[in-house]
């Protein structure tokens, strides 16, 4: 029973981690919060829905949602971040991204309606019994995809020139620029990657919950913020670990406590972390503002 809950939690947490990684990548590079990231995630899920309804294969659905979300992320950077970056205020981007989130949310409401819609399963899932644990092939696909994407990201950041440019920009944009890094390009690529991961998470969570609503992004977006804090702002590995931890905690709290508290745990953990260890579990560069 416990092991089963643990596996369910890891599956949920993997998808959460993908959202949180996006937040933390953007925060790491720009030191700014992207409050429309949850909406990018939600739009990704709806693109997935449209593709599924058009009869596209599950892998193409996932890929299409990622591409669409990446394109959207680049647009958000261009519209809500770049014009106000020079001012160096961290408040203005909060406002511009709230406004962008509002526009995205209500555009989806306009196209798909405000009511939750059913998200068809990608394929007829079969159950596999592994000792005491029962896994469906769909669960395996969700967990495997999120872990695979995280591994790919880790490899990209460590081993490619663009990955190195992004890490250098996160370390210090001015010095990175002086060393010949195209900082603007690194920022655009960061948004594209962060948003593509959010789009993937959208489709994976929609497969998991088999339903979708235009307000789905707010909840998951908030959870992503909490996870980013748990792992340490700007710390990609921290976001991965934090996502899995929050997923497991949430599933266990539903199984052994009242389900209505499930959302409280992420924030209780987040506040505790901020009070006890403001740099997150795995540490982060402390920002003064």
Partner 1 sequence: MLSDHAVSIVIFAGIDVIMALSFFLPASAGQLSAGQGGFMALGAYTSAYLSVHHQTPFPLALAAGGLVGSLVGLAVGFPALRLRGLYLVLVTFGFGEMVRVFFLNVPAFGGPAGFAGIPPATTIWYVLGLLVVLAYFFTRVGGSRMGRAFTALRDDEAAAEAMGVNSTYVKLAAFATGGAIAGLGGGLYAHYTLFIDPEAFGIGRSLFVMLYAVFGGLASFWGSVAGATILSVLPELLRWVKDWREILYGLLVLTMMLVRPQGLLDAALLARLSRGERAAARG
Would you tell me which residues interact with partner 1 (CB under 8 A)?
27, 31-33, 35, 79-80, 83-84, 87, 89-92, 94-96, 98-103, 105-107, 109-110, 218, 222, 225-226, 229, 233, 258, 260-261, 263-264, 267-268, 270-271, 274-275, 278, 287-289
Question: What 3-state class would DSSP assign to 7?
Answer: helix
CB of residue 85 to partner 1, shortest distance in Å? 10
Closer to partner 1 at the Cβ: 98 or 162? 98
Quick one: 35 or 198, whose CB is closer to partner 1?
A: 35
How many other CB atoms sit within 10 Å of the CB of residue 85? Answer: 16
Dist CA 4 CA 43 (whole Å): 31
In DSSP terms, which residues pair with 130 in a beta bridge? Answer: 133
Strands 211-212 and 117-118: antiparallel
Q: Write down the least CB distance from residue 229 to partner 1, Å.
A: 6
As given in the structure block, the two tokens for residue 235 are: 């710390």
Per-residue burial over 195-229, b if 16 or more Cβ lie within 10 Å, else e, is: bbbbbbbbbbbbbbeeebbbebbbebbbbbbbbbb
For residue 4, what are its two tokens? 């089963």
CA pair distance 92, 222, nearest whole angstrom:
19
Beta bridge partners of 212: 117
Query: Per the structure block, which two tokens stand in for 236?
Result: 């990609």
CB of 89 to partner 1, least distance (A): 7
Tokens found for residue 112: 């798909």
Alpha-carbon distance of 116 to 165, in angstroms, equals 41
Cβ atoms of 241 and 281 within 8 Å: the answer is yes
Q: How far is the CB of 254 from partner 1 (least distance, A)?
A: 13
Question: CA-CA distance, 233 to 244, in Å (whole number)?
Answer: 16
Closer residue to partner 1 (CB): 42 or 51: 42
């Amino acid at each position: 029973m416990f092991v089963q809950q643990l596996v369910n939690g890891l599956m949920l947490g993997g998808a959460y981690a993908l959202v949180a990684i996006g937040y933390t990548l953007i925060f790491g590079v720009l030191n700014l919060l992207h409050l429309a990231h949850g909406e990018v995630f939600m739009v990704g899920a709806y693109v997935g829905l449209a593709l599924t309804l058009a009869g596209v294969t599950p892998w193409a659905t996932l890929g299409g949602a990622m591409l669409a979300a990446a394109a959207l992320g680049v647009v958000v950077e261009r519209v809500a971040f770049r014009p106000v970056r020079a001012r160096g205020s961290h408040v203005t981007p909060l406002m511009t991204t709230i406004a962008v989130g509002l526009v995205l949310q209500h555009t989806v409401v306009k196209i798909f309606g405000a009511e939750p819609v059913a998200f068809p399963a990608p394929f007829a899932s079969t159950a596999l019994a592994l000792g005491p644990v029962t896994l469906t092939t769909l669960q395996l696909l969700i967990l495997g995809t999120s872990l695979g994407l995280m591994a790919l990201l880790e490899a990209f950041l460590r081993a490619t020139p663009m990955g190195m440019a992004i890490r250098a920009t996160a370390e210090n944009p001015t010095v990175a620029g002086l060393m010949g890094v195209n900082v603007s390009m690194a920022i655009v690529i960061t948004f594209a990657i962060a948003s593509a991961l959010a789009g993937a998470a959208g489709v994976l969570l929609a497969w998991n919950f088999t339903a979708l609503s235009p307000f789905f992004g707010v909840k998951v977006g908030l959870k992503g913020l909490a996870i980013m804090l748990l792992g340490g702002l700007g710390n990609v590995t921290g976001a991965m670990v934090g996502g899995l931890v929050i997923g497991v905690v949430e599933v266990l709290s539903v199984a052994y406590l009242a389900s209505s508290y499930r959302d409280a745990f992420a924030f209780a953990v987040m506040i505790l972390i901020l009070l006890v260890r403001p740099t997150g579990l795995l540490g982060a560069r402390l920002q003064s503002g």
